[in-house]
Amino acid sequence: MALFSPGEVKLLREAGRPHGWARGEILMREGEEADSVVLLTGGLVKATVDSANGYTSLLALRGPGELLGELACIDGGVRGATVTAMRRTEGVVVTADAFVRLLERDSGLCLSVLRSVVGRLRDSDGLRAEQGARTTRARVAGLLVKLAVQYGSAAPETLPGAVSVQVNQRELAAATGASRESVVRCLRAMQQEGLVATGRGRTVVLDLAGLRRWAEE
């Protein structure tokens, strides 16, 4: 819960109710009216957007300590993305009205939410800048490093020290602005170098230091 102080987490817990979602279950759906926010306390989710031509873009992965759906609750708009549980996920659901009242009453919580939003905007700006300045191989490697460090889970059954990231080839392509074919070629080269292993719906990072070197090329 690094984004929020213990007191702020306590406020959100007291204002909301605990809830759990199974893998594949949708927490929020793009285009729907925003009636609540979710403070994640466990698990992992992905935020995606569908385009008119059927293409699905992966916007982000979110984990424990992060808040979901706050922007639409603040401005009264509709959901800007679909949020789906990638494994068993737990969180605290706070209604939109209760959340806004908390922000009005507690300046510390309000500032923490603002910092969270600013951090995401910086990440988004950085990603767009990287897409034009770095090779596809460096972008894919950099994203895998980031996801492994922030949201990865141990995969000792593959190799001691290995880290599993619940992201597939299509999602990697969408998140890095590359074609799926280019991502497949990158992953194949990484596998040949012993950096990663791929499985159904996931990528296992075998050599984080080596992958970092690829990201810095």
Rounded to two decimals, what is the model's pTM? 0.78
Both 145 and 174 in a single domain? yes
Give the length of the chain: 217
Report if residue 1 sits inside a domain.
no
pLDDT in tens, 145-173: 988 998 888 888 878 889 998 888 888 88
Both 173 and 98 in a single domain? no
Domain boundary residue, one of 83, 110, 130: 130
The pLDDT, as a whole number, for residue 124 is 67
Task: For residue 128, name the pLDDT band (cuts at 50, 70, 90).
Answer: low
Counted domains in the chain: 2
pLDDT in tens, 12-68: 999 999 999 998 999 999 999 999 999 999 988 888 888 777 777 878 888 899 999
Both 88 and 175 in a single domain? no
Quick check: 167 and 58 in contact, CB under 8 A?
A: yes
Distances in whole angstroms, Cα of residue 12 to Cα of each of 37, 44, 93, 102: 10, 19, 9, 8
Both 159 and 118 in a single domain? no
Report if residue 20 sits inside a domain.
yes
List, in order, residues 6 or more apart from 52 with CB less than 8 Å away.
Answer: none
d(CA 98, CA 185): 48
| Residue numbers of the domain that contains 87 | 6-130
- List the one residue out of 61, 67, 65 whose CA is nearest residue 166: 61
- Please give the residue that has the higher pLDDT: either 61 or 130: 61
